[in-house]
Every structure is written in C-alpha cells, then in structure tokens.
Structure 1
C-alpha cells in the first residue's frame, strides 16, 4: 500500500515503516561515528520505542556495545499501519542483531505487574542482570496495579488561569489561549501518572527478582524550561509530577548507593516529541528556540542529547563523579538555557504573530520533525511507492 500521513490534532494515525527505519539508521550512524562510550553492559529501557527512550537504547547499544531489553506497548498493525514505535523497534532489533548485539523486546503496559514480571524473567534468562535502567514512559493514563485505580494526567496551570501565545503548527496560525487551572484531583492524577511511583515499582521488581546489578545506574527524564513555559509546565500540574519524579530519584539514590548504584533525573532540552506537541504554548516556544539554536550551531535532537548524556555525564572517563546541579539533577539543557539563547528567544516571542511566524521561527522545521516522528518527510524515501505495512520484530517476548 501507499502510506500517507493522516493527522488528528497533534497525533498522526499512520506511520511509514521505511521512513522509521531510515531514521533509526541515522541515529545509529550518528553514534557509531563518535568515540565509543565506556558505558553499560546490559541495559533495560522502559519506554524504548521513541524519543529519549529509543535514543538511549541506541546510545547504549551502538555507543557502548550494550545488550538491551526494550519495554514498549504493543503496536502491531491494527488499522492501516502499525505504530511508529513498532517500526522503530523492528529497525533497532534488526540492526542490533546484525551488529552481534543481544536485544530483546517485551511488549505490554509498563504499569502492570505482568509486564514487569515478563521483563524480570527475560533479563534472568537472557542477560542475568542489568546495570542500566532507563525509565522513559510518557502517557496520559495509568492504572495503578496496587489499587486498581485509573488516573489521568492534565496539562494545566495551578492556582489561576493562564493566557499566552500558542500556534497551530499545521497552518502557522498564532493565537492566544487561556487555560483554566487544574483542580486538586487533576493535580494528584497527573502526579499518579507522570510522577515517580512506577519508576520505584520497576526498581523494586528488578531488585526483588535479583536481576538488578548492585552497581546499577537508573535514570529518568524531566524538563525545567524558561519563563515563557513556566506556568504551563514547571509550575503547572506536570511540574508537580516532575517534582515527585525528582524526589523519587533521591530516594532511589539512597536505596541503591549501598551497592554502588546511582539514580538520577536528567533535565533535557525542549524537543519535538508526541508529548511536547500536545502542550499548549510549547510548540511555539520550540519553534523559536530551534531557530536560535540552529543559527548558533548548538541545536540537538534526541540522539545528540543522549550521546552527550552518556559520553560526557554518566560515563565520562574524565570525571570521577557525575556533574549535577544543586538538586542532584543532570543538566543537558545547558545549551538551551544559556543567557544569550534565552534572550534572543524572548525577543522573538514578543514579536510573534501569524504574519511573521515563518520569518521569526523555525516552525517549518518543527512541522517536519513532527512528521518525522512517524516516518514521514525523511530524506531518501519514496513516499509514492507501495510498501508492506506488516513488519515483524525478532526476539519478541
């Protein structure tokens, strides 16, 4: 069949297998072209099919030669195509096998005890233990296996309504949006979904199953951002969840440090992801940020961020300890938050209108990266050619 993008708001309901595979190859080639990382031997990536999770798996495998197990939702073809995450994972598994690396996939809801048990058994059977655990789950709903309660996350300010500019990145229309504040119930729901509870449950399950190496490192991801996005992000409902995540990292650090283990939250830069595209205001900010960072030659995507995290922070041979900020967080948002970058972004923000959106920002680059998340608009792919949407994944558990 000929596969074209079909969008519904910030979601693309189709994905292109060859485009996804090409982008995975590009990330692998980026890592392979750089110095080897003296990193993990066996890595578990929870949320491994896209974004930071996929990039971390690629950095571990093709940068450090690690064997990997990826956890992600089932995404086989159920409609016109499979999910982009399914195609990404199939391409990764194929490349890893060709490189002589062990790699395995466990599909299912990461929040369930069943998926955790499958992961523990796979690690025990195939790798013995893991010395890196990356927690990169991003979703809007979670059912707690202990209580059976289902929580939903919201992207809202706290305390009072919030008004700012936003953009429809499909047509470039800039408008004002007002968001009503989250209720206490919505804030708690967001913390339940996107906080650190499930990360803690994963580490507990791995330790109880005897498959977590004593000196293991575990990381998860957060974002801080500039004044422009503070009310909707860091000071909003999702910010409460990130505060909980960071508190969990400190608790895990205390638990793991007795065996030489480590736990960190990594603060990354603003990137085009399925999650970020859903947050009002943020796509417009990213479009302005991309223009400034590209002009300064310091722009990074997921794979550049993850390679720098591994090579210069977590496993740097030049540093005896991991550099962290006053809250114990690893900061790879340092280039985004440079004063010169933020000053230029703020100037652009003040002048932004629909009439000037393409002159003042890199909205076209944002839109292209959005479609690339689903395998479209990728160089070297003939999108007029028929392609088989049915792709299998080897070593699927």
Structure 2
C-alpha cells in the first residue's frame, strides 16, 4: 500500500517505513563524516526511538563504537496501517548498527513499568555486563504509576495568568493570536510526575541495585529553557516545574551514586521540530523564525549535530564536563546568543500571515516535521507500495 502524511491538530498520524529508514541513515552518515571520539561503549537509552534519544544513540554507536540497548513503546504496523515512526526508526537503527558489528537491540515495552526495568536489566547483564551511559529521553504526555497503576496526565499551561501570544498553523500558513488559560494546582503535580525526574531516578535505583552500573558511569536527560518570548508557556509554566524537578534529580542521582563515581546531567538543548514541540502553542512560530536567523548566521543545528557536539565537546572531551553555574550542559548556547535573540525580538512583531514566508523559515519547519515521520524526502518515490509490517 502507499501512505501519505495525515495531520490532525499538529500531530501526524502516519509514517513511511522507507522514509524513516532514510532519516536514520542520514544521521548515521553525518556521524561517520565526523572524527571518532572515545565515549561510552555500553549504553542504555530509555526513549531512543525518535528525537534526541535516537540521535544520542546514533552518535554514541557510530561515533564511539558503543553497543546500545533501547527501551521505547511503539505501535507496530499491520497490513493496512503503518507503525509509529519510532518503530521504523528502531528497526532501521538496529539493522544498520548490527551490519557494522555493533551490539544493538530495542525492547518494545512500557519504559515506566518495573517489569520492563527487570527485562532491561537481564538484557544488560547478557549483552554488556554493566553499562557506562544511561540516556534518559522519554517524551510522553501520560505516565502510569508503576506501583498503583494511577495514570498521571501532563498539561502545557502557564501559571498564574492567561498567556496570549502569536502562533502559527503550519499547514494553513496562518498566524493568529492564541490564549492559554493558566493551570490550577491540580494540574501541576501530575505534569511533574510525567515530565520530571521521578522515573529517571527509578531507573538509576533499579540499575544500581542490580549492580549493572559501571564505576564512573554517566547519565543524561534533556530539557529546554528558551527565550522570554516562550517563557510563560514553557519554562515558567507547568513544563518548567517539571524541568526544574528533572534538573534537581540530576544532582540527586550524582549524590546517590557517588560511591561508584556516577555523574548525571541535564542537557539544555536548542529549540527544534520534534513530535513534542510541534503541539506547544507559540513554539512552532518561534522555531520558524529562529531557524531563519540561525541559518543566516550559519550556526543552525539539528538533533544529530547537537548530540554529536554534546558528546565530543561537552562530555567526552578528555577533561571534565563543561557545564554552567547550575551544573547543566548547554547546547542552547548558540540559540541564546545575544545577537540571535536580539534579531528574534526585532522581527517578531512584523510576522503576520502575509509576511510569514518572508520573515521566517516556515518551509524548513514543515519539511522537518514531515521528515520526522518519513515523508518529504526527494530520494523516495511515495507513489510506490510499501510494506507496513
């Protein structure tokens, strides 16, 4: 059957298996074009099927020769319906890594469950003995409590007062004003439960108890801060509370594992088109403007470029990790440069539906969004039938 992108409320409901495989190959090709580095060799990636988790896996495998075990929960395809992009990404990565003699496995299971942790630990013992890097990159709107089964749901809302700002409908090319009502107290705690560091710590505790953490192991999780423009809906909103908890958890993990010289960091990354960021109001318009400005200044990076730079320059640089005053890795350093943000502020008010194409790089935004799902590649004939299984 053939498959086309079917987009509903900013979410693409379909994926193209050949396109996803090509996207993975392009990231592999980038890493192989860069010098090798002496990084982690035995890696667990929790949430490595898309975005930063996938790029981390690719960078460590093809840049440092790491064996990788990935945990992610993806919907498989049927004869009539395609799988999720992550399913095809995992399959492509595992095949390509194994073809080069690397250990590569993906466990398709609920990463929040204690049972999945037990399964992962057994595979770690069989594949590696112990791991020297844990990448925690889960992005889910909900999280079941592993003990009680209670379902926590996150929300994307400001705190204190209604937030009103410009936003864009990428499909229609229209710029409108959106207002988001503030969260109440009952919505904050569940968001922290889903997007904070509680589950990250559960993984580390389970791995330590099972004695599968190497002495001197490292662990990273991912976050975002952003400019004042998006601050109310992001860093100062419900997500921000969760990210504060995530950053506090990194310090707790380092303290909890000091007897085996463990280190944990949060990496604050640049705004990019991801399956998560595409549904946050205001953010797609900001990203479209940011891309245009950073391309003009020749400092634009995608997921794989950032992860490669993080591992090579910030973590495995032959010395100590390069962090800010809060102990965070900063991959948003180029985005947050004074000259970049000054241009964002200068141009923001001029963006309308009529000036969208001229003032922003909305076309790259749309292209990147489609490519997350395997669409929009010139190398692929989308009129050909593909096997969804």
TM-score by length of 1: 0.96
Question: 2: distance between equivalents of 1:143 and 1:22?
Answer: 33
Aligned partner of 1:335 in structure 2 is 334
Cα distance, 1:210 vs structure 2: 1.4
Question: 1: distance between equivalents of 2:180 and 2:345?
Answer: 21
Which moved further from structure 2: 73-82 or 339-348? 73-82
Cα distance, 1:52 vs structure 2: 0.2
Aligned partner of 1:56 in structure 2 is 56
Aligned partner of 1:198 in structure 2 is 199
1:73 to 2:73 alignment: yes
Q: Give me the CA root mean square deviation.
A: 0.9
Aligned partner of 1:13 in structure 2 is 13
> Equivalent residues in 2 for 1:358-377 (5 A)?
358-377=357-376
Question: 1: distance between equivalents of 2:98 and 2:271?
Answer: 32
Question: 1: distance between equivalents of 2:173 and 2:375?
Answer: 19
Question: 1: distance between equivalents of 2:122 and 2:259?
Answer: 25
> Equivalent residues in 2 for 1:243-392 (5 A)?
243-317=244-318, 320-390=319-389
Cα distance, 1:127 vs structure 2: 1.1
Question: 1: distance between equivalents of 2:251 and 2:150?
Answer: 26
Q: Tell me, which stretches of 5 or more residues in structure 1 are unaligned?
A: 391-397
Q: For residues 282-341 of structure 1, what are the alpha-carbon distances to aligned partners after superposition, in whole Å with 9 as ceiling and x for unaligned?
A: 000000000001111110010000000000011012xx2111111110001000000010
Aligned partner of 1:100 in structure 2 is 101
Question: 1: distance between equivalents of 2:309 and 2:226?
Answer: 19
Equivalent position SS for 2:365 = helix
> Equivalent residues in 2 for 1:230-245 (5 A)?
230-245=231-246
Which moved further from structure 2: 15-24 or 144-153? 144-153
Equivalent position SS for 2:264 = strand
Aligned partner of 2:40 in structure 1 is 40
Does the 8 A contact of 1:220 with 1:265 survive in 2?
yes
Question: 1: distance between equivalents of 2:210 and 2:5?
Answer: 43
Does the 8 A contact of 1:158 with 1:182 survive in 2?
yes
Equivalent position SS for 1:355 = coil
TM-score by length of 2: 0.98
Aligned partner of 1:393 in structure 2 is none
Cα distance, 1:114 vs structure 2: 1.1
Cα distance, 1:117 vs structure 2: 0.8
Question: 2: distance between equivalents of 1:348 and 1:153?
Answer: 32
Does the 8 A contact of 1:214 with 1:256 survive in 2?
no
1:158 to 2:147 alignment: no
Aligned partner of 2:26 in structure 1 is 26
Cα distance, 1:104 vs structure 2: 1.0
Q: For residues 253-277 of structure 1, what are the alpha-carbon distances to aligned partners after superposition, in whole Å with 9 as ceiling and x for unaligned?
A: 1122332221000000000001000
Q: Tell me, which stretches of 5 or more residues in structure 2 are unaligned?
A: none
Cα distance, 1:215 vs structure 2: 1.1
Question: 2: distance between equivalents of 1:147 and 1:125?
Answer: 30
